[in-house]
């Protein structure tokens, strides 16, 4: 596993809040300071969708574009297709976007920093390290 950390939208949102999970916020700060934080267009899309105004949108877009951008390539899609199929066969239904983000992490050999209950289950199935900050 590389040292790169794909910071999920759920972790970004918690990190932006004044009253949030302090250990998760610290991990985001550490990932940014060590230059190990990476992103992907899907996460940028989710973050930009939540911006309140044009100024916040432009600021967020600029900050996200400063990070290494992991592409959503054919290998990612193949991983996501297989994971979605396999999970459904096991009776596990999770949001498609979570499967896609974790497939991006798998293909690009990253861990995922998140605050999302679905990630632990899908990450285990895909063999991705999910840095879990659900509790607290």
Domain boundaries, the chain: 5-132
Which of 80, 85, 110 lies closest to 98, judged by CA?
80
Per residue in 100-120, pLDDT tens? Answer: 999 999 999 999 999 888 777
Measured CA to CA, the distance from residue 69 to residue 131 in angstroms comes to 19
Annotate 89-123 with b (16+ C-beta within 10 A) or e (fewer). Answer: eeeeebeebbbbbbbbbbbbebbbbbbbebbebbb
Measured CA to CA, the distance from residue 94 to residue 118 in angstroms comes to 6
In CATH, which superfamily holds the domain spanning 5-132?
A: 5'-nuclease (3.40.50.1010)
Per residue in 45-93, pLDDT tens? Answer: 999 999 999 999 999 999 999 999 999 999 999 999 999 999 999 898 8
pTM for this prediction: 0.89
> Which residues are CB-neighbours of 48 under 8 A, at least 6 positions away?
57, 60, 61, 64
Asked whether the beta carbons of 40 and 6 are under 8 A apart, the reply is yes
């Amino acid at each position: 596993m590389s040292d790169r950390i794909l910071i999920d939208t759920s972790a970004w949102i918690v990190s932006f809040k004044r009253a949030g999970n302090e250990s998760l916020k610290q991990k985001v700060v550490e990932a940014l300071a060590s230059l190990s934080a990476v992103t992907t267009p899907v996460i940028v899309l989710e973050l930009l969708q939540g911006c309140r105004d044009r100024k916040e949108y432009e600021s967020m877009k600029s900050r996200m574009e400063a990070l290494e951008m992991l592409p959503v390539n054919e290998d990612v899609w193949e991983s996501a297709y297989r994971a979605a199929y396999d999970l459904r066969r096991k009776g596990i239904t999770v949001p498609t976007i979570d499967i896609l983000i974790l497939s991006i992490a798998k293909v690009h050999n990253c861990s995922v920093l998140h605050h999302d209950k679905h990630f632990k289950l899908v990450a285990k199935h895909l063999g991705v390290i999910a840095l879990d900050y659900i509790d607290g």
